[in-house]
Amino acid sequence: MANPTIKKRNILNQAKKQKRCMMCVKQCSHADYKDLRLLSTYLSSFARILPRRYTGTCVRHQKMVTNAIKKSRLMGLLPYTIHHKQYAKGE
Q: Are 59 and 66 in contact (CB under 8 A)?
A: no
- Cβ distance to Zn ion smaller for residue 34 or 60: 60
Buried residues in 10-31 as b, exposed as e (16+ CB within 10 A): eeeeeeeeeeebebeeeebeeb
Does residue 21 touch Zn ion according to CB under 5 A?
Answer: yes
CB of 30 to Zn ion, least distance (A): 11
Q: Report how far apart, in Å, the C-alpha atoms of 88 and of each of 6, 68, 73 are.
A: 51, 21, 13
- Cβ distance to Zn ion smaller for residue 38 or 85: 38
What DSSP state is assigned to residue 76? T
Does residue 58 touch Zn ion according to CB under 5 A?
Answer: yes
Does residue 23 touch Zn ion according to CB under 5 A?
Answer: yes
Does residue 49 touch Zn ion according to CB under 5 A?
Answer: no
Does residue 61 touch Zn ion according to CB under 5 A?
Answer: yes
Does residue 24 touch Zn ion according to CB under 5 A?
Answer: yes
- Residues within the interface to Zn ion (CB under 5 A): 21, 23-24, 58, 61
